[in-house]
Amino acid sequence: MIETVSTARAHGGTQGVYRHRSAATGTDMTFSVFVPDHAPGARLPVVWYLSGLTCTHANVTEKGEYRRACAELGLIFVAPDTSPRGEGVPDDPAGAYDFGLGAGFYVDATQPPFDRHYRLWSYVTDELPALVAEAFPIDTTRQSITGHSMGGHGALTVGLRFPERFRAVSAFAPIVAPSQVPWGQKALGGYLGEDCAAWRRHDAVALIEDGARVKALLVDQGDADSFLAEQLRPELLADACEKAGIPLTLRMQPGYDHSYYFISTFLADHLAWHAERLR
């Protein structure tokens, strides 16, 4: 059952925030959905947006500047949360920002105490899509996915593992190879354990190396991003795509950082790219 937290009119559509009790995480989960005005009975394509470290659904909802483009293109826009929350949900023991609350990394944790609630893979690939498809006028044959940073990692891995479901996959400053960078090594080790073979299913570069394919990828990356060299490493994705024959459009944007100033600048471009493939 979905509880409506709030709704507001914007750009000829309805922006809503909703809450429900998740079976996957065992907690209440909040998400946002923008639905453009449409003809009665019409079913619209949907773009899923996965957010980054420390974020909730609210970051892109309030700062993403996507509604005008979605209204013009006839796209539903769905933004889930990034981790379970609430009483009894474990966090990073040291209170760090890059693990625990706000940092679910879109995996199903296997290591206690995180295995009970941190089941974001099942949540974003199974439970929430079914719930949203039942409650909103979505054409489930026309879906695409994008995301930022940790959410870019999520979008790439989800898109690569469900190529039949998602017609388009893009990302903003994604963590392309979490097995090879500190953020990912901490998260995958903490959630999945020390068997690095289990990490490969949640690593875009490894998935491509292991045979996963999509028709094309679009990635925007700011060249003034302070996380570029150590955590993001888009050159690893470029190399993997070149070897696999996956068409990758990697746009290095001069002067842009990791923030929503960057994302909001190029999000409409991504939505147009998605809409072309969702027609």
| Model confidence pLDDT, tens digit, residues 26-77 | 999 999 999 999 999 999 999 999 999 999 999 999 999 999 999 999 999 9
Which residue is catalytic, options 148, 153, 258, 274?
258
Mean pLDDT of 136-156: 98
Residue 18 structure tokens: 């909703």
Query: For the structural domain made of 2-277, what CATH number should be given?
Result: 3.40.50.1820
Burial of 41 (0-12, 13-18, 19+ CB in 10 A): exposed
What is the predicted pLDDT for the residue at 58?
A: 98
Q: What is the rounded distance in angstroms from the CA atom of residue 212 to the CA atom of residue 150?
A: 20
What is the per-residue pLDDT across 6-32, written as a single tens digit (0 to 9) for each?
999 999 999 999 999 999 999 999 999
Of the residues 32, 51, 83, 149, only one is catalytic, namely 149
Q: Among 95, 69, 66, 99, which residue's Cα sits nearest to residue 82? A: 99
The model's confidence at residue 191, banded by pLDDT at 50, 70 and 90, is very high
Convert 60-86 to b/e letters by CB count within 10 Å (16 or more is b).
Answer: bbeebebbebbbebbbbbbbbbbbbbe
Please report which confidence band the pLDDT of residue 270 belongs to, taking 50, 70 and 90 as the band edges.
very high
Q: So what's the pLDDT on residue 203?
A: 98
Q: How far is CA 123 from the centre of its chain?
A: 12
pLDDT, averaged across the chain: 98
Considering only CA atoms, which of 11, 145, 10 is closest in space to residue 77?
145
pTM passes above 0.85: yes
**225 classed as catalytic:** yes
Domain ranges of the chain: 2-277
Which pLDDT score, from 0 to 100, does residue 215 have? 97
Average pLDDT over residues 114-137: 98
108, 220, 225, 274: which one is catalytic?
225
Q: For residue 160, name the pLDDT band (cuts at 50, 70, 90).
A: very high
pLDDT in tens, 166-189: 999 999 999 999 999 999 999 999
149 a catalytic residue: yes
Q: Residue 112's pLDDT is what? A: 98
